Structures are given as structure tokens and as C-alpha cells.
Amino acid sequence: DGGITQSPKYLFRKEGQNVTLSCEQNLNHDAMYWYRQDPGQGLRLIYYSQIVNDFQKGDIAEGYSVSREKKESFPLTVTSAQKNPTAFYLCASKRTSGRSPYNEQFFGPGTRLTVL
Amino acid sequence: GQNIDQPTEMTATEGAIVQINCTYQTSGFNGLFWYQQHAGEAPTFLSYNVLDGLEEKGRFSSFLSRSKGYSYLLLKELQMKDSASYLCAVPNNYGQNFVFGPGTRLSVLP
């Protein structure tokens, strides 16, 4: 079955440590995205990538970094510079070709990061 | 830039009909998406509207008025499992990314 996987589901880290969140997709989608969601709020875009080896900052990129070395993978690193990293992180992917350029995004199950 | 507004919370009774509104302001319009998100889970796609009017998909329908910058999601014959957050989103940068509204948390009561 095709889909998006994120691991782990729950992650705990001490303050001051960097942590990398995994996102893998086997949907053959070109575009991938990282969002942050805080309790009772909508999704805020951290980074996105339209093709391999290229990515752009979203609205809240400070304190985060990404890489896109493979089409299937788009890991997100939460650095110690991120002031309030505790949140629910969602990865998504989207087809960029086909009938419409405005195809829907498919989301992974999310990683809930808690920084102690 | 983009600005999207939705009511924060709504409550309805099982079997009833509920309308969830979304208003948006965009520099260019390329359609509007609705997603459903159960607590602690990933959002799932419900609908995409790019032309004015109502699109029906079973118990869920979505309406768009481009001149008014307004959309709504209509849920009929509400079931307990419809308790979730409903997010509207608009594409940005020629569809390269999306701007999401704050979401409406719907509680369906017995």
C-alpha cells in the first residue's frame, strides 16, 4: 500500500538537544511539506520541497532545517535554536503533475514532540 | 498575502445538519480545499472547489462563492464519528504550498 510514514509517533527530548523527525513516502510524489500544529490551532508551514535537492522556507522556518537528498525522504531537524519546539509535526506530500496543479496533499500520521 | 477565517468551535446533535463556514482573502485564487482531522491524527482530504456552486459527495457538500471570498462545508445526517476538526486551505504560489485556516472543532452530541 502506498502512503506516508512518520516515525516515531511520540518523541521526547531534553532541552538543548537537536532531534530529527523522519518522513518517508512511496507515492512517487515530487512535492513534500512539513507543518507544525499547536493545540487548537491550524497548520503552519515550516519547509517545503518541490524537487530533490531543493527546498524553500515556509512561514516558521527559524530553528528548523531539512534536506531532500531522495525523492522519497524529507527529514526535519528541530534544532536547539527553536524556542518552543513542543508540538505535533505533520509531513505531507503532493503530486505536482497530472490533471490539475492543485492536487490535494496526503498527510502522514504525525510525530508528537515533547521537549522536557 | 492570504488570510483565512473559520469559527473556532461548533456543536451539533447526532442526525442534524451543520454548516461550517470559511472566509478567505487571497491575492490570487486557485481553489479551496476542505480537510477533516480527528484529534491526534492526520488531516484527510474531503473536497476541492474551484468554481462557484455546490459540490455534493454523499453526506458532505462544499460550497464556494469566489465573489464573496466564502466557502462552507455542509454535513448532513451527523454521526458521532463526524466529531473532528475541519480545516479549509487555499493554494499559494501557483499551488506550490497551502495556507490553512485555524480549523473548526465540531462536537457531535447524542
pLDDT in tens, A14-69: 988 999 999 999 999 999 999 999 987 889 999 999 999 999 999 999 999 999 99
Q: Do A104 and B30 touch (CB under 8 A)?
A: no
Q: Which of B91, B97, B103 sits opposite A42 (nearest CB)?
A: B103
pLDDT at residue A102, as a whole number: 67
pLDDT in tens, B31-57: 999 999 999 899 999 999 999 999 998
Q: Which of B42, B89, B100 sits opposite A109 (nearest CB)?
A: B42
- Do the Cβ atoms of A53 and A71 come closer than 8 Å? no
Q: Closest residue of A to B98, CA-based? A: A45
pLDDT at residue B97, as a whole number: 82
Q: Do A107 and B102 touch (CB under 8 A)?
A: no
pLDDT at residue A80, as a whole number: 87
Distance from CA of B60 to the nearest CA of A (A): 17
Q: Do A43 and B43 touch (CB under 8 A)?
A: yes
Helix, strand, coil: what percent of chain B each, to 5?
Answer: 5, 60, 35
pLDDT at residue A41, as a whole number: 82
Contacts of B97 in chain A (CB under 8 A): 33, 45, 48, 56, 58
Residues 1-30 of A with CB under 8 A from B: none
Cα–Cα dist A59/A73, whole Å: 21
Please provide the average confidence, as pLDDT, over all residues in chain A.
91
| pLDDT at residue A91 is higher than 60 | yes
| pLDDT at residue B14 is higher than 70 | yes
What value does the mean pLDDT take over residues A88-103?
80
Cα–Cα dist B8/B106, whole Å: 9
Cα–Cα dist A3/B67, whole Å: 37
For residue A23, the SS3 value is strand
pLDDT at residue B26, as a whole number: 83
pLDDT at residue A95, as a whole number: 86
